[in-house]
Every structure is written in C-alpha cells, then in structure tokens.
A and B are shown apart, each in its own frame.
Chain A
Amino acid sequence: MQLRLLLLVVTSFLYIFKSYAHVIEDIPYSNELITAVSKSIKWQKLIKLKQSPVSQNGTFAIHSQRFYFSEISTLTAKEELINTLGAFMSTERVSNIAENPQCRFPARYHWLKKQFDLSTVKAVICQDFLDWSKLSSTQSLSLIFATGYLGNPASYYGHTLLKLNSSNTEKLNLLETSVNFGAKVPENEDPITYMLKGVVGGYDASFSHSNFYYHTQNYLENELRDLWEYQLNLSQDDYYFLVAHIWELIEQDYIYYFFDENCVYRMYELFTLFEDINLPSIKAPWVIPQEVVRAINSATYKNGPLVRKIKYIPSRQSNFYNKYWQLKSNEKVFIEKIVANTGQLSLLDSENLTIAVKLRVLSTLLDYYQYLIAVDKDNTKHNKRSYTQILAYRYKLAIGKASFVYKEAKSPHLARPSSYSQISFIHNRKLGNGMTLKLRPAYYDQLDAESGHVRNGALKMAELDLEYIASKLAIRSLSIFEVVSVSNQATGLPYDGYDSWKLYLGLQKQDNECTSCANFIFKANKGLSFPLLENTTLGGYLGGAIVENYLDRGRVYISSNLTLNQSINEDWNFFIDLEARKYLENKQVTKFNFKAEARYRFRFNDEHLDFRLALTDNETMLSLGYYW
C-alpha cells in the first residue's frame, strides 16, 4: 500500500514536472530579462540560494524537492525561474487549488508579477492560504523573543517566533497564528548525540505554525520563561509578501546548525527580504537570539523605526515574584501560614481583612502553586490539590482583580551585545608583569548579566583566555561551558528556596604561580544564594572537581565557596569568591583561593565597554573590555 502510494506520488510529480518542462519553450520573455531577474538578490532569497565559495551556482538552503519546480540535483536560479514562470502559466492543468503554483508559492507569484507581464495568467483564490494568513483582517506582525532557559542547553540563549496579528487591539489574542523554526529532533534522543548532531548539522529543521497559546503555555507556564513581543511596522504590501513567503516555507526542510544557521538566523533572514529596510548585520559568525532582537530594534524601515511597539509578557514565575515582593509583611505571613496548611485559608474569613488584602494573598498563592506545579514534579498531586482549594476559596469572593503594580521590565534589546573581548595588564608577584587577552563568544559572567540574563549568574561557552607572562604565551583558561544558576528572587517558601548551582568544563590553571599549566577540569557545586538586600546576594557552595594531576596533588578535590555579589549602582558592581579546596589523593593538600573583582560599565561612541579590577592571591589585573 505504501509502495503504491509512493509510486503515485513519484508519478504525479514526474507528470507535473514534465508538464512544466513542456511549457518552458512557450515562455514569452526574453532570455536577457530572465537572466537579469534570476540574478537578482530578491529572487535568490526567495528560492533560498546563497553564494558559495565551493559552488559556482551557489548552494540552496532548502533540500525539499517540493520547494522547487526544477530537479533539485541540477538546480540553478535561472532554471528555477523558468520553471516557476512555466508553472504559473499552466495553472489550468492543476485541478486541485491547494496544489496550484499560485497557492503553493504566493510570494513568488506576487513578486514575479512585478517583474514579468503575467496578465495572461488567471488569478486563483487560494482559500487555504487566505484562511491561514487571515489577510483580510490582519494588521501586523510581531517578533516574539523567549528569554533563555538554564534547564536545557539548547535554550540557554533564548528563542524567537513570529506572530501574525489579526487585530490591532491592546489585548493579547492567544489564538493568533505563530510561526516557529525548529530542528526536528527524534524523541528520546540522548544528550550527547543531540548536542553533536545539533552542532554539525545532523538534523533537519523547518518552519511550522501553531496557535500562539501553544507557546505561551510552554514558555510562560511550563518553562517559566518571559516573552517579549516586538510589533513591527510593515506596509501592507511587505506584510503580504512576508506572510506569503512564510507560507511557502512551512514544512520545507533545511539543515539545522546550532551555532549559525539556527532558528533565529532563519527569522532574521526573512526580514532581509524587504527593500526599504536598514537592518544591522550580525557581526559574529554565530547567531544569538538576543543579537537578532537588538538588530530588529535598531533597524529602520521606510525611514522610521521597524519596531512599532514593545510588550512584556511575564511568566507565571515572574508574576509570582512580582506579586510576592509587593506584599506587606502581614500579607506574607498569611501566605506562609496557608502554604504550611491550606486549612489556614479560614484566616482570610476575618472581617478585619479588606477584600483587597484577600485578593492580593489569593492571587499570589494561585501563582505560587502554578509555579510549583511546573517545577516540583514529585508533588504534583499535592500542589494541584492546594491550588484547587485556593481557587475554590477565591470563587467565594466577588469578581475583581488583585491590585498590584506591574513592574516595568527592561527589554533585552537594551542590553549590551552578547560577545566580549578583553585586554588586561597583570602583575604577578612571582612571575612579574604580563598581559592577557580574552575572547568570549557568549554570553555573560557573574558581573555583567543584564536584561534577559540571570542576574549574578553566568553562562559562558568557548571563552578563551590567553596570557603572555614570563616570556611565555600560554592558555590561561578555556571554558567549554560554564554555568552559574542563582535564585535571585527566591521567596524561601517551600520549593522556592535559595538553591543555586555551578558547572564548569574546560581548561583552567590550578593556581596562578605557574604558566603553561592550564589543566583539564570538570567542576560541580551546589549551594544556596540568599538575596540579603535588593542589591546584595550572599552565596555558599559545596562541591568538587575532577582534574589533571598537578604537582602530584591528585585528580580529585572537594571544595567550599563563599561568594558575595554586590551592586553599588547601575554601572558599578563587584564580586568576591573565597574558596577552600582539599585534594583527596596523595598528600591531601589544602588550598585557599581568594578572588575579588570590581566592574564599571560605560558607553563610548555608542559602544559598550567596561573596566575591571581583579585581585587574587598573587595577582592584580586591570582590564578593558569591549562588547560586540
């Protein structure tokens, strides 16, 4: 049966292909015109052709045969143009409207009509496309940015989507169509294969569409990630063209590359289709979602800003923290008592309490339990029961919203660029004076986290630190990855504790009295970080590491750390880390390490820079950093 189906599909394709091939001879356009149009950038973007140093004809980003009228193995821009025109001119041969070339490729048709006289081509009504795009009433397009998520490496840097807005109201319509680009990862893929295949292009990826609420449920309620909506200012003609092109791309297969040709790159690429746009290029060879958000926000379109409106959509967790930290102390006491025993809800029966207080307490509790349902999978039943009790109590009170101030969040596009270079002058008491050069492709450390990052946390990948000291050039450190997860706003309520953790994999010097001595190290620490004050976070960690044997100290050590993060103002902050480390082999050496680092950030000619002063046991380091 399947074989028969396959044969039918192949035969149908060959028939259609042959039909188009037959028509090519009849195309009434000059070879010069066809050649010129086929060489135009717009046409090449429409068919996903990119210039390639290895192929004279360029390479095609999509490898689905269905995306092309020409045979994919011998595809060229000119041949595809001829076959596309031929297909449009022979539409009467296609009885199924959905398969009509105009309906499969509305953007190509829209654009080619302006390049060629297609007046003889009978226009058809593509109902499926019209229903999907809601073009009759659609007003605008939004880029959605989901902030990073430390629960999964593939989501560390965030994600982007598109949303087609069918109305222009302020309210969020959760049934709007959203467009996603993602890799097609098989279920139960193991992590190593997943990462390797993601990096080397082992997965197909494609655009897909769904109702926006699939993403709001996933991001806001499950993964607890905030969303940012950037509504774009597009003309109706460009809007139609873009939406029509997205329709062409749905379910067409690309190759997915985690670092560059990833989800956000494909979104960025879409915006380059417009002629009246001035879109900043992505400087780095890797593409990070936040950089595309920055580019979109600084882009101009028809001499005005591309972004018309910005909206912050907080996650359930953000809502909970926002509400909890606005509660008065007596309201927090009610929360603690009710969380300890939901039977204590009867405390709210007191006639001395205003309805406003009751609503604030209940609203915060509802968010708290929804947050727990997302994170505390071992106690789902208990949490759902408590949630239902709170909700039932809420229904006993009158209709009305709890009164809270909704915090103005800073959009991630206002943060500094994601990549960092730093030059430092060091004085080492044993080795003398020297210099270091650091390159960090992404993303942030414990001093420079900004909007869209985890404050006081760290997320680094492939950070290389070179030193030239004692007449030797050597690797000072090379992190494959470093993650520090800190609970900045934890309430201390059950399952919302101050848990924090750190992971490091890479090369690092085990002390700073040597050079050319960076060793392999894998470190893991678990601990607590307490937000003592709004700008002061104190952390304590226990953990250990597997290392290369250095000075015969052995290959395993355990460690404890005491840390302090302090912000003085928006531009000044510092970080102190005290470490006690005990090696478990050989002489069981005990080492104490001290590090203090202060940072001052500033802007110069619209560029983002920082000064840092770092002190360790034997070194003083003064650095100038540049974000790009």
Chain B
Amino acid sequence: MNKIKILISSVTLAVCASSLNVSAFDKTPGSGPNPFSDCGIGAALFKDTKWAAVTSNVIWDIGTTAVTSATASPQTCTGANIIAAKFIIDNYDNIVEEIAEGTGDHLASMYGVLGCDNNVQTEITANIRNDMVQVISQANYQDQSLVQKSSTLYTMVNNSSVVGNCAAI
C-alpha cells in the first residue's frame, strides 16, 4: 500500500515538475507567471526627505523591500522577469507616460531587461498602449494600488502578441 502511495506521489511530483518546467519555457503570450502575485513584490521605499534620512547619504536597503516572499517556483522569483517587475513598480509613472508617447528611456530600459528585439518594441508598445487606453479610463483606476497597476501593466507586456521576441519572457 505504502509503495503504491509512494509511486503515485512520485508520478504526481514528476508531472508537476515537468509542467513547471514547461511553463517556464512556454512563450505563449500571457502564459508566464506574474511576479507581483507570486513573489510579493512591493515598491522600493522612496522616502520623503527628512533631516536624518537623506537618501543620498543613506545606503539603500536593496533586496529587503522588493521580494518579500518567494513561495512560487525559483524561476518565477529570480531572473529577468523579477528585475522587470521591480523596475515597473519603481518607475511606473515614467513608463506609462512613455507608453503614451511611444518611446523613452524607461520604456527602452524595460525592453532591455526583457530582452525584446529593437524591431518589435514599437509593436509591443502599440499593443500595450491599446490595452492601457481601456485600463486608464476605468473609474477605479485611480483607486488601485501601485502594486495592482504595476501588475496589470506587467500582464499587458506579457500578453503582447509579439512577446515571443523577448528573450526573457
């Protein structure tokens, strides 16, 4: 009986492991994990300046504010996607403004970390922009948290129909 249980467990684990492996390499748009929900990403702490909290003279507490838990697979919470997710949440307004304009340093940096070819960036931006028009005009957009907004943007990038041209997604 025990042997049967062990066998079933092993088979189940093997199937789960292989499916995880598949999803990690599956480049179908929208198929990737979302680091915001899976890794507990929050915005870096850009403090108001205070007498003794001059950010220019304080060592950034990097790494402790960003990934608070890593309960999902290691692939989900490491690598380019987590860097991109952190970048999105910490530069959200700049990125969204640049999507509206079509280009910009923040947008280019985001595509850089995701490994998106230069020749598809314009198309990805156009796709994200189309989605963004809908999202930003929603009545509850303003009330969403930064994490929610960033997560939505990350999903839009991930869903872009040409995202297969981005090595890291």
Interface size on A, residues (CB 8 A): 54
From A183, A187, A377, give the contact of B57 (CB < 8 A). A183
In the complex, B49 has a CB within 8 A of chain A: yes
Is B112's CB under 8 angstroms from A173's CB? yes
Q: How far is the CB of B123 from chain A (nearest CB, A)?
A: 12
From B44, B56, B62, B125, give the contact of A219 (CB < 8 A). B56
Is A185's CB under 8 angstroms from B54's CB? yes
Q: How far is the CB of B3 from chain A (nearest CB, A)?
A: 38
How many angstroms from the CA of A394 to the CA of B129 in the assembled complex?
11
Interface residues of B in 93-149 (CB under 8 A from A): 93-94, 96-97, 100-103, 105-106, 108-109, 112-113, 125-126, 129, 132-133, 136-137, 141-142
Identify which of B6-14, B15-23, B31-39, B83-91 touches chain A: B83-91
In the complex, A384 has a CB within 8 A of chain B: yes
Is A399's CB under 8 angstroms from B129's CB? yes
A385 partner residues in chain B, CB cutoff 8 A? 142
In the complex, A391 has a CB within 8 A of chain B: yes
From B52, B91, B93, give the contact of A189 (CB < 8 A). B52
Interface residues of A in 190-206 (CB under 8 A from B): 190-191, 193-194, 206
In the complex, B1 has a CB within 8 A of chain A: no
From A190, A191, A217, A401, give the contact of B90 (CB < 8 A). A217
A391 partner residues in chain B, CB cutoff 8 A? 96-97, 100, 136
Interface residues of B in 45-79 (CB under 8 A from A): 46-60, 62
Q: How far is the CB of B139 from chain A (nearest CB, A)?
A: 11
Identify which of A147-155, A534-542, A550-558, A606-614 touches chain B: A147-155
Is B62's CB under 8 angstroms from A172's CB? no
- Knowing A174-B87, A217-B91, A388-B141 touch, does A182 contact B57 (C-beta < 8 A)? yes
In the complex, A96 has a CB within 8 A of chain B: no
Residue of A nearest to B104 (CB): A401
Residue of B nearest to A182 (CB): B57
How many angstroms from the CA of A387 to the CA of B93 in the assembled complex?
10
Is B60's CB under 8 angstroms from A395's CB? no
In the complex, A584 has a CB within 8 A of chain B: no
How many angstroms from the CA of A194 to the CA of B57 in the assembled complex?
12
B87 partner residues in chain A, CB cutoff 8 A? 174-175, 211, 213
Task: State the total of A-B contacts with C-beta under 8 angstroms.
Answer: 138
B47 partner residues in chain A, CB cutoff 8 A? 222
Interface string of B135-169 (1 = CB under 8 A from A): 01100011000000000000000000000000000
Is B48's CB under 8 angstroms from A370's CB? no
- Knowing A152-B51, A183-B57 touch, does A395 contact B133 (C-beta < 8 A)? yes
How many angstroms from the CA of A180 to the CA of B62 in the assembled complex?
13
Is B46's CB under 8 angstroms from A175's CB? no
Is A400's CB under 8 angstroms from B102's CB? yes
How many angstroms from the CA of A4 to the CA of B87 in the assembled complex?
38
Is A174's CB under 8 angstroms from B91's CB? yes
Residue of B nearest to A218 (CB): B55
Interface size on B, residues (CB 8 A): 44
How many angstroms from the CA of A263 to the CA of B52 in the assembled complex?
16
- Knowing A189-B51, A191-B51, A217-B91 touch, does A184 contact B102 (C-beta < 8 A)? no
In the complex, A159 has a CB within 8 A of chain B: yes
Is B97's CB under 8 angstroms from A214's CB? no
B142 partner residues in chain A, CB cutoff 8 A? 384-385, 388
Q: How far is the CB of B127 from chain A (nearest CB, A)?
A: 12
How many angstroms from the CA of A173 to the CA of B105 in the assembled complex?
7
Is A399's CB under 8 angstroms from B56's CB? no
Is B51's CB under 8 angstroms from A190's CB? yes
How many angstroms from the CA of A260 to the CA of B97 in the assembled complex?
41
Interface string of A378-395 (1 = CB under 8 A from B): 000000110110011011
How many angstroms from the CA of A183 to the CA of B142 in the assembled complex?
38
From B46, B52, B94, give the contact of A218 (CB < 8 A). B46
Is B46's CB under 8 angstroms from A174's CB? no
From A187, A221, A222, A396, give the contact of B52 (CB < 8 A). A187
- Knowing A185-B54, A263-B57, A395-B137 touch, does A152 contact B48 (C-beta < 8 A)? no
- Knowing A174-B105, A190-B51 touch, does A218 contact B132 (C-beta < 8 A)? no
Is A370's CB under 8 angstroms from B109's CB? no
Interface string of A165-188 (1 = CB under 8 A from B): 000000111110000101111111
How many angstroms from the CA of A211 to the CA of B93 in the assembled complex?
18
From B56, B101, B105, B125, give the contact of A155 (CB < 8 A). B56
A171 partner residues in chain B, CB cutoff 8 A? 105, 108
B101 partner residues in chain A, CB cutoff 8 A? 399-402
Is B109's CB under 8 angstroms from A154's CB? no
In the complex, A62 has a CB within 8 A of chain B: no
From B60, B97, B112, B133, give the contact of A175 (CB < 8 A). B112
In the complex, A208 has a CB within 8 A of chain B: yes
A326 partner residues in chain B, CB cutoff 8 A? none
Is A159's CB under 8 angstroms from B46's CB? no
How many angstroms from the CA of A103 to the CA of B26 in the assembled complex?
36
Greatest chain A CB density within 10 A among B93, B94, B100 is at B100
Residue of A nearest to B44 (CB): A214
Is A172's CB under 8 angstroms from B105's CB? yes
In the complex, A366 has a CB within 8 A of chain B: yes
- Knowing A183-B57, A391-B136 touch, does A217 contact B46 (C-beta < 8 A)? yes
How many angstroms from the CA of A184 to the CA of B57 in the assembled complex?
7
A218 partner residues in chain B, CB cutoff 8 A? 46, 55-56
**Could you give 10 example pairs across A and B, Cβ below 8 Å?**
A175-B113, A182-B57, A182-B59, A185-B57, A214-B44, A222-B47, A222-B49, A395-B132, A399-B102, A399-B126
Known A182-B57, A217-B44, A222-B46; 7 more pairs at CB < 8 Å: A152-B51, A180-B56, A183-B57, A218-B55, A222-B55, A377-B48, A395-B136
Residues of A bordering B, CB below 8 Å: 146, 149, 151-152, 154-155, 159, 171-175, 180, 182-191, 193-194, 206, 208, 210-211, 213-214, 217-219, 221-223, 263, 366, 370, 377, 384-385, 387-388, 391-392, 394-396, 399-402
Residues of B bordering A, CB below 8 Å: 44, 46-60, 62, 83, 87, 90-91, 93-94, 96-97, 100-103, 105-106, 108-109, 112-113, 125-126, 129, 132-133, 136-137, 141-142
Q: Which 4 A-B pairs have the closest CB atoms?
A: A189-B52, A399-B102, A191-B51, A174-B109
